[in-house]
Chain A
Amino acid sequence: MILRLAIASLLARAVTVGMTVLAIALSVALFLFVEKVRTGAKASFADTISGTDLIVGARSGSVQLLLYSVFRIGNATNNVTWESYQDISAREDVDWIVPISLGDSHRQFRVMGTTRAFFEHYKYRQDRVLEVSNGVIMDDLFDTVIGADVATTLGYDVGDPIVVAHGLASFVEHKDQPFRVSGILGKTGTPVDRTVIVSLEAIEAIHVDWQSGAQIPGQSTPADVIRQMELEPQAVTAALVGVSSPLKTFALQRAINEYPEEPLLAILPGVALQELWGIVGIAETALLAVSAMVVVTALIGMMATVFSSLNERRREMAIFRAMGARPLTIFALLVLEAMLIAAAGAVLGLALLYLALMIAQPVIDAAFGLWLPVEAPTLREVRVVLGVIAASAIVSMVPAIRAYRLSLADGMNVRT
């Protein structure tokens, strides 16, 4: 009955209480949304590459190898020779291997040479494969498949010609061998979106008339001639490897790392991603701290509301006292009230969160490739909600102590 009266008392002050509930709801929703984005970003990050057991490159650092081979950030210090590549692919514990050749660019986007196997084995977000949303996977030597961001940023459509520049941010272009867009990939939220994919042979083809990084003056082989040539690459930048059995992963990794002919490095993508997240993860903590401050602000707002209501509620307290309520009961009543407000706010906040998620989920996925799952509240979220209610109880003790003192002094008399 006391609980019912407390609720009735809150309802009687619907407007002010409603505002407070709304403030708490928004802050809780914001906090949980940031939390969702944070975990979603972390998961998306970890999901950048999946299904690949090892990434092989020239010996450098694991994060560096991951950065240039998967995220297309920075450059390889060295290549892997074609002989080594073939040695590895010939091993029987290697189920599949996809070569990656980097070094050229188109506008601000990296050009990656690879084989058709890339489209088969490159997986992201658990087991999703790359899908061509428009056109087909490259067929001809001078065909290219571009990522979703490349297409939207540069306004390319299937059939458009593109010219690849030598190196990065370079003015020297492979003008003699223009490419044709054969397909555009769907949005993945991975670095593939910002990549121009050509065949491994095409990388060789555009460098036919080049030597040690510069075009041989006056020499220009016609495309038809190039098509007839044996275009075997000298080296690749890196390779994605799938093992025949997960048990062999570490043995293969060790074998590659100890490869006698050339200094190579094989990394487990998951482990390297973890390492990298450790570096970029600081920003998310800052974001979380800011939204936590918003929750604290809302709780202090609630405390102010309860405080300012005390004076007009001295009559109510006097009635409770006359009926035999102890000052401690008055204290408990105010704490209970604050907890009810916070609980209502937290639940409403959760509802807001799910509403926002349901509306924003497809938009965020399309725009940022960030997948925010709509699922039952996690233990962590339940803890946040309970934490807010507990914090409200603690915060409300300040006005409750004041009410306790007032009711002790006032007794049943009301001095207005």
Chain B
Amino acid sequence: MSQSVLELKDVSFRWPGRTGFALSVPALGVGAGETVMLLGQSGSGKSTLLSLICGTIAPDRGRIDVAGTDITTLSGGGRDRFRAETIGVIFQQFNLLPFGSVADNILLPLQFASKRKARAGDARATAQDLCHALGLPEDVFTAKSNTLSVGQQQRVAVARALIGQPPLIIADEPTSALDATTQAAFLDLLFQQVAGFGTSLLMVSHDPRLGARFDRVISMEDIVQMERATA
């Protein structure tokens, strides 16, 4: 682990209003080019942790370094811009704007990130190359994204996360909507691309069988302390 892409230290967060729910992360790190799996059941605070890393919520205490910048020092809008520049996000499903074309969806994050846009070069050509590399049919590029199968949609989401080579990819259970065979094929492509770009991957899943592919598997219980008041 030469250089760290993600570093959380003594982070604690309490949902406003819901006093019963708080979460703290003493330490979590992801190195450059490292693939890490976060294993945890639903309700283990995964969503909150990912929101903290992506900067859509700010912790009450602690520091979160993403690609060398402590995002807790940034303003809300600053974190949004920073996220656009440095993090590619893949959701569980319904990743795409259904009314937009595949091209629109892949190019969307570049609208909010000028440096990433510059890195992508000829964005349309890059997007097309990514589609090709991810095994998507040629004619899919201009198709409306709601005409695609779920597996195809997830691959488009990967292309969108990878375009402009952000240093970190966050994937939130990207395979849970896929069947076993598509799942394997999807992960093969994802790992291939992530390795190719030298991007770090932080993937959340509840399925321990997928763990073998990753450099490291971290269990949510080991890094996150949850606080749930019963009274």
Show the binding face of A for B, using Cβ within 8 Å.
1-2, 4-5, 8-9, 11-12, 315-316, 318-329, 408, 411-413
Contact = CB atoms under 8 A, between A and B. Distances in A.
B54 A411 contact: yes
Interface stretch (B65-73, B109-117, B220-228): B109-117
Report, nearest first, the 5 A-B pairs whose CB atoms are least far apart: A324-B84, A411-B56, A324-B112, A12-B99, A8-B99
Given A2-B111, A323-B108, A412 B50 contact: yes
Contacts of A323: 84, 89, 108-109, 111-112, 160
A329 to B, nearest CB: 8
B111 A412 contact: no
Interface in B84-98: 84-85, 89, 91, 94-98
A246 to B, nearest CB: 65
Chain A, interface SS category: helix
B155 interface: no
A326 B99 contact: no
B104 interface: yes
Given A9-B97, A412-B54, A412-B56, A322 B91 contact: yes
B56 A321 contact: yes
B172 to A, nearest CB: 9
Given A324-B81, A326-B77, A319 B47 contact: no
B63 interface: no
B199 to A, nearest CB: 17
B96 A319 contact: yes
B80 interface: yes
Contact of B51 (A8, A329, A411): A411
Nearest to A8: B99
Point out which of A1, A8, A319, A323 has the most chain B C-beta atoms below 10 A from its C-beta: A323
Given A323-B89, A324-B85, A413 B51 contact: yes
Contacts of B47: 413
A46 to B, nearest CB: 52
A324 B80 contact: yes
Given A325-B112, A412-B89, 19 more contacts: A1-B108, A8-B97, A9-B99, A11-B99, A319-B95, A321-B56, A321-B80, A323-B84, A323-B109, A323-B111, A323-B112, A323-B160, A324-B85, A324-B112, A325-B84, A326-B77, A327-B76, A329-B112, A412-B50
B57 interface: yes
A319 B108 CA distance: 10
A324 B109 contact: yes
A17 to B, nearest CB: 11
B58 to A, nearest CB: 11
B111 A1 contact: yes
Contacts of B57: 411
Contacts of A411: 51, 54, 56-57
B211 interface: no
Contacts of A1: 104, 107-108, 111
A5 B100 CA distance: 6
Contacts of A5: 97, 99-100, 104, 108
Contact of A324 (B83, B91, B100): B83
Given A324-B81, A324-B109, A326-B77, A4 B56 contact: no
A315 B94 contact: yes
Point out which of B89, B96, B99, B107 has the most chain A C-beta atoms below 10 A from its C-beta: B99
A68 to B, nearest CB: 67
Contacts of B50: 412
Given A12-B98, A321-B56, A328 B77 contact: yes
Nearest to A315: B94
Interface string B42-57: 0000010011001011
Contacts of B76: 326-327, 408
Nearest to A2: B111
Nearest to A11: B99
Nearest to A415: B47
A38 to B, nearest CB: 42
16 contacts: A1-B104, A5-B104, A8-B97, A8-B100, A12-B98, A316-B97, A318-B91, A323-B84, A324-B81, A324-B84, A324-B112, A326-B76, A327-B80, A411-B56, A411-B57, A412-B56
B168 to A, nearest CB: 13
A23 B111 CA distance: 34
B1 to A, nearest CB: 27
Nearest to A325: B112
A322 B171 CA distance: 11
